[in-house]
Chains A and B, each alone.
Chain A
Amino acid sequence: MPSTDDWLNNPLGVVEGMFAASQNTPNSGWAAKAVAFFKDRLKEKDAHTWVPSLNDVPLHYLKPNSLVKFRCFIQDMFDPEFYMGTYEAVDPSTKAKVLRCGKYKDVTECGVDFNSRSTMTAERHTFYCVPIPGESPWVKEGYAGSSQARVVPSTSYAPTRQKRSYEEDDDDMDTDTQPQKQREPHTGPHSPTEPHGNGDCKRREKEAPSSQAASASHLDLNFPLPGEKGPSCLLKVYEEWDGFKLNEAVEVFGILSVSPALSALADEDASSSLLDPAGGMETAEEQRVHSPPASLVPRLHMLHAKPLPHNNPLLPAAGLEDNNSAFLSSTLREMAAVRAELLAYFTHVLLGDALAAEYLILHLVSNVYTRRDVLPLGKFTLNLSGCPAVASFTERFYQIIQQLVPSSYYLGMTLQNMNQMRLVPKKDYVANRLLSGALQLATNTSLFLDESQLEQGQLDTTGVRNVTALGNLISWQKVDYDFSYHQMEFPCNINVLIASEGRSLLPSDCQIHLQSQVAPPDLEAYLGGIQVHPQASQLNKFRMYLSVARQLDYSIADEVTKSVEDDFVDMRKDDPQSISAEDLHRMLVVARLLSLSLGQTSLSRDSWLRAKHVEMLRRSRMEQNKIWLRALLYLCHSKVDALGEPRLGEAGHLDHGALDLGKGGNHSAAVAVGGRRAEAALHL
């Protein structure tokens, strides 16, 4: 396929050809045509899979100036820049003046005539892009596996590595031939989720960053989450830049530019600015951030981009629009069944608590679908309290969630983390960039807050600010970025799950207390057993299920509306204290999520009743909990009153019994025992 190779390997040639052809016809609109050309090419069946991706192919295997794609997250937006759209240069061989096109390029060719009248200035915008923060390994592997790009080690990549030592070169020589071999097993229906089967894949991944990591040590690539790896790039956008938003996940097709001249130029600038303070208006920091070495942060000149509605490789990329109705209907049919399986799995994970598992599913399919003035609708922050104090439970729990959702982040709320971490992005005016923070996350990222890690101690100013930021995130689904002179509000859509022992100090939409069906002594052993992975095929079903459920549309029919209203009024009539407006809010959300989780796109009477039932169960558990606590409190009081009494020992002994019962999840018995014995103790 010569044509394919042409637009894949030498897109600049295509652009230049169009530019040259348009020279004799004014107003030909060649630029728009060029963009349309690539768009059409990419529309062809599977064409986009032929494009190598920056995400999974190490940079030095990619040919400079070839077409690549990048699944990324817009972390920062730099100032617009003016460049030479068209310029006149002297051809060194013929000494003739030639008109050149500067679009999609970083450097001009030799002998630019600055005084030429044909020079035309144009505007482009630069976005700083990083891989989607918190993207789960299975997503990365899934995308890598579906790629059919034939990556031929580029013959011209040597210059990009000019800074590296010879030993490394040698290593690379050995591996040069590998990528082709490695790629073979990935094409086709290879399961990317197999936990250990991807040794070579992992190795390849390790390889790329390791060479970067060494040089990255002096350059902060500004990833939102600590410990992230992967390439970041400077995306040059030539049209419709207003359509892009910060924190948006996009898939970009563009021309890769790693010209070593860029870094050399940057060095020159840095040194010259020292000599001439007036000339260099950028500080050294700014310089470093805005023109990092191209070998580390490649430039990507955008030809085409599409927003990613999700980053699940198992779903059709276009999202759930009409053209995928076949896919949609088949998934919808299966949803109830998959849900049952998932529920069983979660019940198993959550120590046999089916109700908590139910709520966990609801939480995982929640999504802010709209905002009414300041109120985000559809969010469902879950506080899972009563997590066993066994150290590894929350971590294991997170690992399981990570396996199911496309992107997630585990934030252990230790005092140290809260006091030291930068959660909220902050503008660094010296380097003129937005310093990222852990709350700069893409839409539908699962944020797992582990409050069981929090111990007593003092929160300093940063800590208080961080806790406030988390609270704002949960209540309003927004993060106020710190621009030092003012704050700017960025709406977000993040699923927050809080695991805690008692009730969380953070607000939440819904709290459920975990009731373990496992006796405490067996807990360790039980937890050890959880880690067993479900079957890969089952895992994939779960993943698909969660992503699809989250994207479904939803409506409420009028007659159901009526019955919901009636229900509410009835409930209030019986006991006005029992249900408030807030409870109704929550029940409507629960009903919505419940319907969606069953694959129903409108609320039915059944689902409403079921939602009501589930809520009732949860509330009664909360009540029980409260009663139990009250009983304990009572016991404590009685213990105090019993001070000085001869039967002190017995009172102390009594509440231990109740406590044990309570911990075992048998609250009613605990209350009964606690209450009775407390009373007995009182009358001693």
Chain B
Amino acid sequence: MSSPLSTPGGRKRGRTTNPSTPSSEGPTSPPFQRRRGQDSSTGDLMPMPTSPPTDVLSPAAPLDNSLFSSPRPSVPPNEVDMSSPLMYGTPMRGTPARQRPDLGSVSKAPQVDLQSEPPSADGAVASEANAGQRHRKIFPLSLFIDPSSSEDENTGLDLNEPLYMQKLEEISVVGDPVLNVNCLHVQSFDAELYRQLICYPQEVIPTFDMAVNELFFERFPDSILEYQIQVRPYNALKTRNMRNLNPEDIDQLITISGMVIRTSQLIPEMQEAFFQCQVCAFSTRVEVDRGRIAEPAVCRHCNTTHSLALVHNRSLFSDKQMIKIQESPDDMPAGQTPHTTVVYAHNDLVDKVQPGDRINITGVYRAVPMRANPRQSNVKSVYKTHIDVIHFRKTDEKRLHGLDDAEQKLFTEERVQTLKELAAKPDVYERLASALAPSIYEHEDIKKGILLQLFGGTRKDFSQTGRGNFRADVNILLCGDPGTSKSQLLQYVFNLVPRGQYTSGKGSSAVGLTAYVMKDPETRQLVLQTGALVLSDNGICCIDEFDKMSDSTRSVLHEVMEQQTLSIAKAGIICQLNARTSVLAAANPIESQWNPKKTTIENIQLPHTLLSRFDLIFLMLDPQDEAYDRRLAHHLVSLYYQSEEQLEEEFLDMAMLRDYIAYARTYINPKLSEEASQALIEAYVDMRKIGSGRGMVSAYPRQLESLIRLAEAHSKVRFSEKVETIDVEEAKRLHREALKQSATDPRTGFVDISILTTGMSATARKRREEVAQALKKVIQAKGKTPAMKYHTLLEDLRRQSETAITKEMFDEALRALSDEDYLTVTGKTVRLLA
């Protein structure tokens, strides 16, 4: 029912013995939904004023009919027979019923003196009795089996047994008297009951409570609970988005998602006041009624007037907390600010959530008129709205454990169909690649690489064998001349993926990337604040100006990029956070222009330990060729004169691409086929072979892993559950392409993977060895001189050697010798050891 107050002479008025209850004020909900129930009972309504445009009442109307078309409309409650649920002889044996402040003023289950209720055909009672009728049907619900259930709440339950009976059993064991009921189950079980639950939660949920308690104590007569079981429905699919809340939702059961932004301190709310007479010490208790306590004017015992005083510490209080939630950023239309809603949590739901949590809230939406002031005749015409929460569900909790399917996007049938059609096209890979950042010209292979990164490999769990999680995310490094739209590509990816982070290496510190511990100024609690890498868990972390990052910052990336975790040991907090993020980084060459005579490592000056963690390293260079120039020019010019629509036709739009990726990421988990594994083995062996002839290694197991990931990602692009040879072929091609660009030894022209894995090509290493040996010879030739001047030594070496010796080479040789403990270098002198 819309509001208890709109039902004059309702049950509660009968129940409260005090007639002096103020009738017009108090936290009642506005009677917006007045038509429900009342129309049928009172035919004397004056012609309705026309509703304002926002006031769409029509959906409510058929509901009325359905409600009253149920078998026994408006049962006069006095005639309630023994079959009525309200009449169950309660075998609850003293287990106290706990008040449900979350359901507003109907605080106790309606078993209290039903007889005092005046006979009324009023809608509220009718619906309640109705719901009571219906509640027997909950028994079948107790037999509800949901074999398809995959919810985390049901872990450990046998899916083929009645779900809620198992839950009751759990309650009897654990002793936590809360039963969470999925509204979807109710709906699939009885749509009518579901509708009533949604529309009249205040009346229906207490009947649920009763029925469940009935059942529970029948089954487990010996169990002892702190208080009676409370039913907490959740997942009411009424409203998903805070923005869609409107006056129609008042007093209905709703579920919305949002993020907690503020929680208040605990507010003790009086539930029952204890009064004692100052004269005769007679005590009396008064329950709170609609937020007010009616002070008894006369002592019933000694008939003294105004002698009763409130005794605070014998009154009953319940916990209450105000929580503010804000729309989650994904739900918002562009260009608007997020809305916030006030939520009240009661009793054990207090302190269940912290600011920053993303939660789904199920509760009753309330609107309360501004407090009227007796001294003022006119009042503000605005209501305060809030939600009395019944059930919290954290959406990000699961992210700590594994994949988050909570954010699984629900695709409509048609959308899935279009996606599948697209996937069936033979050139889907090329299409998607060209749809990626259409404003950036060419670089097809780079786009393909990024596309595969967006899809990612299949997640594998080897924790049984002690290896832990296997990295499924592809990391890509782009390096190249400034002004080759690397940043733009990064920005695009960042905007495309739902959970992306964009940072610049220049501006971010290790702390900003990982996590830090902060003392909350209000609560003095230590709070773990997560940085970009953790925030982009299951997403992509775009790091621009990777080369400008400080060494200490870069060092945290080591763990993230292979183990995909982040270890924190700070201020007494030791933990390991998941950071299963793909890294897309961009780096500029150290000399601002790419020097083709140098290796990748020398050009970007990044430690090879880090470089080897990138699956693909692309060079974005400016190709100098006329045909390319022409196409580029055409592309750019068309960017400036083509209208928006023309471009839309040419490319898939971003939303489509996003959906496609989201679908593939959630539903497609390809496995290697036999042929594919053979092809992979072959490919790896081939790669090893290339270099072996010249004493160079051109592949390491890490490269094999990369190949597997890429192949898997490619089969995801095709929506294929099996990795096939073509996937391996493409992975091989792309990998080779990237290697050709980044791991070619400029001195020899061969691909040498050790450039990336050890930071130095094999030839360079060989040469260093030679110089060191030559230097050693020079020193030995000098005979017994314990110390030499740096300069003279260099001169000597230069004179002896047939090739030109640079200072760097000399330094390297010195370092090599000092590593052998042959000599030490202090300032400008070189001392021999031993």
Chain A interface (Cβ within 8 Å of chain B)?
22-32, 76-77, 79-87, 99, 102-103, 105-123, 239, 242, 244-248, 261-262, 264-265, 268-269, 272, 277-279, 281, 370, 372-375, 377, 427, 429-430, 432, 434, 464, 468, 475-476, 483-486, 488, 490-491, 555-556, 561, 564-565, 568-569, 572-573, 576, 580-582, 584-585, 588-589, 592
B438 at the interface (CB under 8 A from A): yes
Nearest Cβ on chain A to B51's Cβ, whole angstroms: 6
Additional pairs, 15, CB under 8 Å, beyond known A115-B23, A117-B6, A120-B55? A25-B50, A114-B25, A114-B28, A121-B30, A121-B247, A239-B53, A245-B334, A373-B438, A373-B495, A432-B324, A483-B338, A484-B261, A485-B261, A561-B641, A581-B632
Q: Taking A265-B376, A269-B370, A377-B640 as contacts, is the C-beta distance between A80 and B339 under 8 angstroms?
A: yes
Tell whether, in the assembled complex, residue B637 and residue A246 are in contact, meaning their CB atoms are under 8 Å apart. Answer: no
Number of interface residues of B (CB under 8 A): 99
Tell whether, in the assembled complex, residue B637 and residue A374 are in contact, meaning their CB atoms are under 8 Å apart. Answer: no
Contacting residues, chain B, for A485 (C-beta < 8 A): 259, 261, 326, 355-356
Contacting residues, chain B, for A123 (C-beta < 8 A): 54, 246-247
Q: What's the Cα separation between A370 and B639 when bound, in Å?
A: 10
B232 at the interface (CB under 8 A from A): no
Contacting residues, chain A, for B54 (C-beta < 8 A): 122-123, 239
Contacting residues, chain B, for A99 (C-beta < 8 A): 49
Q: Taking A76-B337, A84-B381, A107-B381 as contacts, is the C-beta distance between A264 and B376 under 8 angstroms?
A: yes
Tell whether, in the assembled complex, residue A565 and residue B637 are in contact, meaning their CB atoms are under 8 Å apart. Answer: yes
Interchain residue pairs with CB less than 8 A apart (15): A106-B382, A107-B379, A114-B24, A118-B48, A119-B31, A121-B32, A123-B246, A123-B247, A268-B371, A268-B376, A269-B371, A475-B487, A486-B259, A488-B338, A569-B633
Q: What's the Cα separation between A110 and B329 when bound, in Å?
A: 42
Nearest Cβ on chain A to B516's Cβ, whole angstroms: 13
Q: Taking A28-B50, A576-B624 as contacts, is the C-beta distance between A82 and B640 under 8 angstroms?
A: no
Tell whether, in the assembled complex, residue A476 and residue B491 are in contact, meaning their CB atoms are under 8 Å apart. Answer: yes
List the 8 closest pairs (A to B, CB-CB), nearest first: A110-B377, A245-B335, A556-B641, A121-B32, A568-B633, A565-B633, A121-B247, A576-B624
Question: Interface digits, B368-404 against A, CB 8 Å rule (1 contact, 0 not)?
Answer: 0111110011111111111000000000000000000
Tell whether, in the assembled complex, residue B438 and residue A372 are in contact, meaning their CB atoms are under 8 Å apart. Answer: yes
Q: Taking A265-B373, A556-B641 as contacts, is the C-beta distance between A122 and B25 under 8 angstroms?
A: no
Tell whether, in the assembled complex, residue B30 and residue A82 are in contact, meaning their CB atoms are under 8 Å apart. Answer: yes
Contacting residues, chain A, for B465 (C-beta < 8 A): none
Tell whether, in the assembled complex, residue A581 and residue B485 are in contact, meaning their CB atoms are under 8 Å apart. Answer: yes
Contacting residues, chain A, for B355 (C-beta < 8 A): 485
Tell whether, in the assembled complex, residue B634 and residue A268 are in contact, meaning their CB atoms are under 8 Å apart. Answer: no
Tell whether, in the assembled complex, residue B622 and residue A122 are in contact, meaning their CB atoms are under 8 Å apart. Answer: no
Most buried by A among B50, B269, B322: B50
Contacting residues, chain A, for B384 (C-beta < 8 A): 281
Q: What's the Cα separation between A653 and B516 when bound, in Å?
A: 55
Q: Taking A86-B49, A568-B629, A581-B636 as contacts, is the C-beta distance between A429 and B262 under 8 angstroms?
A: yes
Residues 296-332 (chain B) with a chain A CB within 8 angstroms: 320, 322, 324, 326, 329, 332
B147 at the interface (CB under 8 A from A): no
Q: Taking A114-B25, A485-B356 as contacts, is the C-beta distance between A564 and B379 under 8 angstroms?
A: no
Tell whether, in the assembled complex, residue A83 and residue B633 are in contact, meaning their CB atoms are under 8 Å apart. Answer: no
Q: What's the Cα separation between A624 and B23 when bound, in Å?
A: 87
Which residue of the partner chain B has the closest CB to A92?
B377
Contacting residues, chain A, for B6 (C-beta < 8 A): 115, 117
Tell whether, in the assembled complex, residue A84 and residue B483 are in contact, meaning their CB atoms are under 8 Å apart. Answer: no
Nearest Cβ on chain B to A373's Cβ, whole angstroms: 5
B504 at the interface (CB under 8 A from A): yes
B809 at the interface (CB under 8 A from A): no
Tell whether, in the assembled complex, residue A277 and residue B381 are in contact, meaning their CB atoms are under 8 Å apart. Answer: no
Contact of B386 among A31, A86, A281 (CB under 8 A): A281
B630 at the interface (CB under 8 A from A): yes
Tell whether, in the assembled complex, residue B439 and residue A373 are in contact, meaning their CB atoms are under 8 Å apart. Answer: yes
Q: What's the Cα separation between A54 and B331 when bound, in Å?
A: 35
Q: Taking A29-B50, A584-B633 as contacts, is the C-beta distance between A82 and B367 under 8 angstroms?
A: yes
Nearest Cβ on chain B to A576's Cβ, whole angstroms: 4
B333 at the interface (CB under 8 A from A): yes
Contacting residues, chain A, for B596 (C-beta < 8 A): none
B68 at the interface (CB under 8 A from A): no
Q: What's the Cα separation between A148 and B246 when bound, in Å?
A: 41
Tell whether, in the assembled complex, residue B383 and residue A81 are in contact, meaning their CB atoms are under 8 Å apart. Answer: yes
Tell whether, in the assembled complex, residue B329 and residue A569 are in contact, meaning their CB atoms are under 8 Å apart. Answer: no
Q: Taking A121-B367, A429-B262 as contacts, is the C-beta distance between A102 and B381 under 8 angstroms?
A: yes
Tell whether, in the assembled complex, residue B52 and residue A278 are in contact, meaning their CB atoms are under 8 Å apart. Answer: no
B437 at the interface (CB under 8 A from A): yes
Tell whether, in the assembled complex, residue B30 and residue A31 are in contact, meaning their CB atoms are under 8 Å apart. Answer: no
Q: Taking A281-B342, A464-B507, A576-B622 as contacts, is the C-beta distance between A372 and B639 under 8 angstroms?
A: yes
Contacting residues, chain A, for B369 (C-beta < 8 A): 84, 114
Contacting residues, chain A, for B386 (C-beta < 8 A): 281
Q: What's the Cα separation between A27 and B46 when bound, in Å?
A: 15
B340 at the interface (CB under 8 A from A): yes
Contacting residues, chain B, for A374 (C-beta < 8 A): 439, 488, 491-492, 495
B45 at the interface (CB under 8 A from A): yes
Tell whether, in the assembled complex, residue B247 and residue A82 are in contact, meaning their CB atoms are under 8 Å apart. Answer: yes
Tell whether, in the assembled complex, residue A79 and residue B259 are in contact, meaning their CB atoms are under 8 Å apart. Answer: no
Tell whether, in the assembled complex, residue A573 and residue B49 are in contact, meaning their CB atoms are under 8 Å apart. Answer: no
Tell whether, in the assembled complex, residue A82 and residue B385 are in contact, meaning their CB atoms are under 8 Å apart. Answer: yes
Question: Interface digits, B1-13 against A, CB 8 Å rule (1 contact, 0 not)?
Answer: 0000110100000
Contact of B46 among A106, A118, A372, A585 (CB under 8 A): A118
Q: What's the Cα separation between A269 and B369 when bound, in Å?
A: 12
Q: What's the Cα separation between A247 and B380 when bound, in Å?
A: 29
Tell whether, in the assembled complex, residue A117 and residue B50 are in contact, meaning their CB atoms are under 8 Å apart. Answer: no
Which residue of the partner chain A has the closest CB to B262?
A429
Q: Taking A245-B336, A581-B485, A592-B640 as contacts, is the C-beta distance between A265 and B379 under 8 angstroms?
A: yes
Which residue of the partner chain B has the closest CB to A259?
B378
Q: Taking A121-B367, A375-B488, A572-B629 as contacts, is the C-beta distance between A588 and B379 under 8 angstroms?
A: no
Q: What's the Cα separation between A106 and B381 when bound, in Å?
A: 6
Residues 478-495 (chain B) with a chain A CB within 8 angstroms: 483-485, 487-488, 491-492, 495
Contacting residues, chain B, for A272 (C-beta < 8 A): 371
Most buried by A among B341, B441, B640: B640
Q: What's the Cα separation between A430 and B262 when bound, in Å?
A: 8
Nearest Cβ on chain B to A91's Cβ, whole angstroms: 12
Q: What's the Cα separation between A483 and B259 when bound, in Å?
A: 11
Q: What's the Cα separation between A24 and B48 when bound, in Å?
A: 9
Which residue of the partner chain B has the closest CB to A105?
B381
Contacting residues, chain B, for A375 (C-beta < 8 A): 439, 488
Nearest Cβ on chain A to B390's Cβ, whole angstroms: 18
Tell whether, in the assembled complex, residue A580 and residue B634 are in contact, meaning their CB atoms are under 8 Å apart. Answer: no
Tell whether, in the assembled complex, residue A434 and residue B30 are in contact, meaning their CB atoms are under 8 Å apart. Answer: no
Nearest Cβ on chain B to A249's Cβ, whole angstroms: 13
Tell whether, in the assembled complex, residue B637 and residue A564 are in contact, meaning their CB atoms are under 8 Å apart. Answer: yes
B693 at the interface (CB under 8 A from A): no
Nearest Cβ on chain B to A261's Cβ, whole angstroms: 6
Tell whether, in the assembled complex, residue A79 and residue B45 are in contact, meaning their CB atoms are under 8 Å apart. Answer: no
Q: What's the Cα separation between A265 and B246 when bound, in Å?
A: 25
Tell whether, in the assembled complex, residue A103 and residue B52 are in contact, meaning their CB atoms are under 8 Å apart. Answer: yes
Q: What's the Cα separation between A281 and B507 when bound, in Å?
A: 39
Tell whether, in the assembled complex, residue A114 and residue B5 are in contact, meaning their CB atoms are under 8 Å apart. Answer: yes
Q: What's the Cα separation between A484 and B338 when bound, in Å?
A: 13
Nearest Cβ on chain B to A293's Cβ, whole angstroms: 14
Tell whether, in the assembled complex, residue B381 and residue A486 are in contact, meaning their CB atoms are under 8 Å apart. Answer: no
Q: What's the Cα separation between A112 and B46 when bound, in Å?
A: 18
Contacting residues, chain B, for A77 (C-beta < 8 A): 336-337
Which residue of the partner chain A has the closest CB to B261?
A429
Contacting residues, chain B, for A488 (C-beta < 8 A): 329, 332, 337-338
Q: Taking A83-B382, A108-B378, A262-B380 as contacts, is the C-beta distance between A434 and B337 under 8 angstroms?
A: yes
Q: What's the Cα separation between A195 and B492 when bound, in Å?
A: 48
Tell whether, in the assembled complex, residue A26 and residue B50 are in contact, meaning their CB atoms are under 8 Å apart. Answer: yes
Contacting residues, chain B, for A555 (C-beta < 8 A): 641
Q: What's the Cα separation between A477 and B291 when bound, in Å?
A: 51
Nearest Cβ on chain B to A281's Cβ, whole angstroms: 5
Contact of B48 among A26, A83, A269 (CB under 8 A): A26
